[in-house]
Structure 1
Amino acid sequence: MIIDVHAHWGPWFFTMDVAGSTLATMDRYGIDRAIVSATEAVIYDAPAGNRALAAYLETQDRLLGYVTVNPRRLREAEADLRTYLPGGRFVGVKIHTDYTGSPAGSARLREALTLVAETGRPALVHTWGASVLDLAEVCQDVPGLRVIAGHMGADGFRHAIEAARACDRLYLEPCWSHAPAGRIAEVVAGVDPDRLLFGTDATLIDPASAFGAVAAAGLPGETAERIAWRNATALFRL
């Protein structure tokens, strides 16, 4: 069983749609389920993208959704959370800090994540470099908030280790367009294995990158199984 907690549905605005359609990519790599955000919602218009994804998910059994939230448009975000989360097809919230101009340490993001915490659902938040430390601080300060540090800080993965140690409600997923030797093994050695997830960033990045990075870490079977699906099942209550 493999659950991809960081995937996308819909075309990108640049020529990096390398992994093809979501379902074809899943079949190619043996991914059983994926939790996806609409690229339209992430990049352009959150309500429009969420609405389109909701209609698409009604036709799919293997995909679940993230409600994408723009911290600069919280009234719309609150309406979408009320509309889509109760139906069961959306199981979490997606926030991209860069595209929305809402850094991890900003008041906007803190307000958005406070709103998310009230829903009881986890949020996948884009992190890069040391921003994962700011996300951990918000996680500590907002009661009940559970967050996934998307890309686990990318080149800031050592900051991600520190962040996960600082907040026991912060989870890490590894997708990144680079795969430095030893990155996954170092994170696994430094973090509670119950808070590690598997994500690919498909369709933006071919899942081969994440699969290869995790495989190269030579993880024990039990740890690999937790990352592949057990931790996601618990976090999203699947």
Structure 2
Amino acid sequence: MTVLIEAQDLTRVLPGEPPVTLVRDVSLEVEKGSFTAIVGPSGCGKSSLLYLLGLIDRPTEGKLLIADQDMTPLDGDERAKVRLERIGFVFQFHFLLPEFTALQNVLLPMRKLGRLERSAAEERALQLLDGVGLKDKAAKTPDRMSGGERQRVAIARALANDPAIILGDEPTGNLDSQNSERVVQIFRMLAKEQERAVLCVTHDMDVAAAADVRINMLDGRIVGVERQR
């Protein structure tokens, strides 16, 4: 299998008296076409690790490779470009712009990247909304959609620039069981049918059970890795 994310001895320490270690000596690989869940108690470093893997934060020590490219020497602008082109994020809160329609929200990353002409971008945005079952909601603003629909729009937005990697931070945390299951089905489809690497931090054991790989964290470290499929 092709490894899209490789972490080598990642450590993140917040300076202070005393310093606080968020992530300690974490090494892992995330493969193309896999759905991986990171689980563990609150405060164990799950989200901190996700932000390191997603280039939102920088490690104090260690190395991170995305598609075999070392991210360590990249400056802020270069890291932002990698995020925009290669990584899609889905958070617990959808972070849709309330004044924009679903279509306009999905278009935002494409407009920022500037790779597609307007008509092609709009066509792609509609296809992405259709892929999550929301083409008929394209003209609606977030306040006219349910929580599950808003989260599916957020997933469509994460896919806007066709990233190889999808990272989720408690993406079902605010959803009921039915909508959570729908999000999980979408994540599995993105991994299995579209061969993306999907990595999700979650407290939801149903989400973790649906993953191919479950990574267990405690006190900033990986304490176990289970291949479930």
TM range (shorter): 0.3 to 0.5
Q: Work out which structure has the larger RCO, using CA pairs closer than 8 Å and 6 or more positions apart in sequence.
A: 2
Task: Write 1 or 2 for the structure with the bigger share of strand.
Answer: 2
Larger Rg: 2
Task: Write 1 or 2 for the structure with the bigger share of helix.
Answer: 1
TM-score normalized with structure 1 length: 0.33
TM-score normalized with structure 2 length: 0.33
